[in-house]
Structures are given as C-alpha cells and as structure tokens.
Amino acid sequence: MTDKTPAQHADAADEAIRAINHLTRSPRDGWEYPGDVYSLVAGLSQMAMKLPQALDQAQQLIAELDGGGNLRSDKNQLQDDLRETLLGLETARIAAEQLYAGLNRAHSGLGPIGYKD
C-alpha cells in the first residue's frame, strides 16, 4: 500500500475522523443533503467493517510474540498485562462488529431518503 507503518495509518485515520467531526458541525458544500449523510455513513461503515480484522491481527501478533518469549512487562506482571490487552482487543472487536451493524443499518435506512425542495 505505502511505506507507512500500521501505527501511522491509524494516526491518519484518527486525523481523518477529526476532520470529519470538524466539517460536519454545520451545513456547507458537501454537507447539506441526505445524500451527503448517506455517503458519509457508507464510508464509516466500510471502515468499521475492516476494524475487526485489524484488531484480530494485533491480537495475533501479541500472541505470537508471547509464544516466542519476546515480551516483558515494566510492571513485572506480564500475564496480567497480556490478559488485559487480549480482553481489551476482544471487547474492541465485538464493539467494532456492532458499530458496523449499526452503520450498515443506518446506511440502508438512508437509501430511500431524499431532499424535499
């Protein structure tokens, strides 16, 4: 894709959401009709659909590193820290799946909605 790291892509996604939040505060070109919301929700839905895979792959890397004996904890409680990490990633994956389902539902609902002159 690019020479960026996964973390750099995550930072870019964060910046993109920040920009969306700023641009959708009030009507403007590109943000004045139901079709604009439809398009935004479609993009957010696609993003949410991909989040579980990224979270699963993060979980997989941590598990592989742990299996290879390559991890340590600054708090000297590696197993507790790993348990919290893996539970947190699993909770986030489930939440991302729910986010996708909600956005997909909203996108479907927006399909027939139009602007009334």
- CA torsion through residues 18, 19, 22, 23, sign: negative
Taking the whole predicted model, whether its pTM rises above 0.75 is answered as yes
* Residue 85, domain extent: 33-109
For residues 42 and 36, what is the distance between their CA atoms, to the nearest angstrom?
Answer: 10
**Token representation of residue 37:** 């919301």
For residues 31 and 64, what is the distance between their CA atoms, to the nearest angstrom?
Answer: 45
Residue 10, in any domain of the structure = no
Residue 9, in any domain of the structure = no
What radius of gyration, in Å, describes the C-alpha atoms of the chain?
19
Q: How many domains does the chain have?
A: 1
Residue 6, in any domain of the structure = no
pLDDT tens for the chain, 117 residues long, are 679 999 999 999 999 999 999 999 999 999 999 999 999 999 999 999 999 999 999 999 999 999 999 999 999 999 999 999 999 999 999 999 999 999 999 999 999 999 999
